[in-house]
Amino acid sequence: MPNETILVIEDEKNILELVKYNLEKEGFRVLTALKGNAGLDMALKEKPSLVILDLMLPEIGGLDICRILKQNDKSRGIPLIMLTAKGTEADKVVGLELGADDYMTKPFSPRELIARIKAVLRRVKDKSSAKVLKAGTLELDAAKHELRLKGKPVELTAKEFELLKTLMEASGRVLSREFLLERVWGYDHSVHIETRTVDMHVGGLRKKIGKESERIVTVKSVGYRFDEE
């Protein structure tokens, strides 16, 4: 995917250089920032195709940057991949809830990072080719990347939106957690990720859609099904 701009916000110079080198080798244009403030400014000004964001940063931390970008209409659509040195479950959960599209725990392989970047960018592109899906008082407008409940927009994270869209598109069919991981997170089976991630996001999604959450049915030991009727 040449000509796409990736912004890397990371205060460890070695990691920043390693990521930059590998991304440029793949044909990406790379912007870098060593501090939180500069990174945030750059993200808002340059509108990169994707931001790679370290969690522990001087000035403003990664979680705060994530929150600010996702609250701003102009930057909400920019996908984020978080880098975390801590690797604690709590940080990952917070990051994903704030709308990060993915995360990687340090140390990571540049190859895997690039694979994930491409998966995220591919999903963003796929979104532009879609219609409005309806069920009860829910309307999922893929082109606008908006979910409406009784006509009012519901704020979903990127993953929650994608998850609901996948379930609605397959309405009436049971989708396994593995299938959802692959479709929504874009991972192939060789990459380790816990299927519990899916449950976590379904939980978050259900909370936001009130009574309509009954349409997302848990199919024991398999996965989930969306019921239109």
Give the interface with Ca ion as residue ranges (CB under 5 A). 11, 54, 56
Name the residue nearer to Ca ion (CB basis): 11 or 64: 11
**Integer-rounded Cα radius of gyration of the chain:** 18
Quote the least distance from Cβ 83 to Ca ion, whole Å: 8
Q: How far apart are CA 136 and CA 121, in angstroms?
A: 31
Question: What distance in Å separates the CA atoms of residue 106 and residue 53, rounded to the nearest whole number?
Answer: 12
CB of 106 to Ca ion, least distance (A): 9
- State the Cα–Cα distance between residues 62 and 65, nearest whole angstrom: 5
Nearer to Ca ion, 11 or 26 (CB): 11
32 and 64 Cβ atoms separated by less than 8 Å: no
Whichever of 102 and 162 has its CB closer to Ca ion, that residue is 102
Q: Which residue is it, tokens 């609250």? A: 71
Query: Could you tell me the smallest distance in angstroms from the CB atom of residue 11 to Ca ion?
Result: 5
Shortest CB 14 distance to Ca ion, Å: 11
Q: Least Å distance between CB 26 and Ca ion? A: 23
Position of tokens 């403030």?
A: 37
Q: Which is nearer to Ca ion, 33 or 142 (CB)?
A: 33
CB within 8 A of 26, min separation 6: which ones? 1, 114
Q: Tokens at residue 174, please?
A: 């049971």
Q: Closest-CB residue for Ca ion?
A: 56
- Please list, in sequence order, all residues whose beta carbon lies within 8 angstroms of the beta carbon of residue 143, skipping any fewer than 6 positions away: 127, 128, 130, 131, 132
For Ca ion, the closer CB: 54 or 162: 54
Judged by CB, which is closer to Ca ion: 8, or 78?
8
Shortest CB 144 distance to Ca ion, Å: 35
Residues ≥6 apart with Cβ < 8 Å to 27: 1, 2, 3
